[in-house]
Amino acid sequence: MMQLQKGDITAFGGDAIVNAANNSLLGGGGVDGAIHKAAGPQLLAECKTLGGCETGQAKITKGYNLPARFVIHTVGPVWYGGEKGEHELLERAYRNSLELALSTDLATIAFPNISTGIYAFPKPQAAQIAISVVKEMFVKAHDLQVTFICFDDENYQLYQKLLA
Ligand code: APR
């Protein structure tokens, strides 16, 4: 089941929120910065034990001061024009985050719009990828509730149209 929300993912009170991190997993700007700020320093301390994260892969930590129990850190691709496997890597980031949520027996998970900020992935294409991967995964496990949380209007309107 997919839901759409406009707002700040750090306020999500479900089982896990997905962080659009970078390969170091040592924090950054955008949603990564907001999540680390809300979770507190213990999140960074745990991230330091993970040895980074490959683009397209996903790793899980506790949520600490966040209302969500866990944070699933994934690294989306930087957009280089679309000829460097960016679509495949973004699909992998969504798929691996969902697999990790399923294998951790989570019931509810929230995604930001991975790679569409600092990494400059075109929002319309990223929205198509996010929704089609979640739909395809739902064939496997219908009981995971996925919420897309859009912080900016452009993404929100794109998802509204695609999910209508
Ligand atoms: N809640 C939900 N979504 C947010 C929030 C928030 N608090 N803050 C930003 N966003 C949205 C942005 O509007 C964008 O649509 O998250 C989406 C992803 O943007 P970025 O956070 O810039 O992430 P990304 O494009 O994947 O770039 C990752 O940015 O923060 C650094 O360390 C991070 O190097 C990595 C890079």
pLDDT at 1 over 90: no
> Is 153 among the catalytic positions?
no
Strand 145-150: give its sheet, edge to edge: 2-6, 145-150, 108-111, 16-20, 70-74, 58-62
Quote the pLDDT of residue 55. Answer: 98
Q: What is the average per-residue pLDDT within 86-99? A: 97
C-alpha torsion 47→96→109→114, nearest 10: 80
Tell me, what's the pLDDT at 102?
Answer: 92
- Burial pattern 141-164, b for ≥16 Cβ within 10 A else e, equals eeebebbbbbbeeebbebbeebee
The rounded mean pLDDT for the chain is 96
Classify each residue of 10-21 as buried b or exposed e, where b means 16 or more C-beta atoms within 10 Å of its C-beta: bebebbbbbbbb
pLDDT (tens digit per residue) in 37-49? 999 999 999 999 9
Question: What integer pLDDT is reported at residue 140 of this predicted model?
Answer: 66
Percent of the chain with pLDDT over 70: 98
Q: How far is the CA of 63 from the centre of ligand 1 (A)?
A: 17
Read off φ and ψ for residue 106, nearest 5 degrees. Answer: -80, 155
> Given the CA of residue 27, which atom of ligand 1 is nearest to it?
32
Give the per-residue pLDDT at 128.
98
Nearest CA residue ID for atom 21, ligand 1: 30
Position with higher pLDDT, 136 vs 31: 31
Which domains are assigned to the chain? 2-163 (3.40.220.10)
pTM over 0.85: yes
Q: 90 alpha carbon to ligand 1 midpoint, in Å? A: 14
> Which of these is catalytic: 8, 15, 32, 152?
32
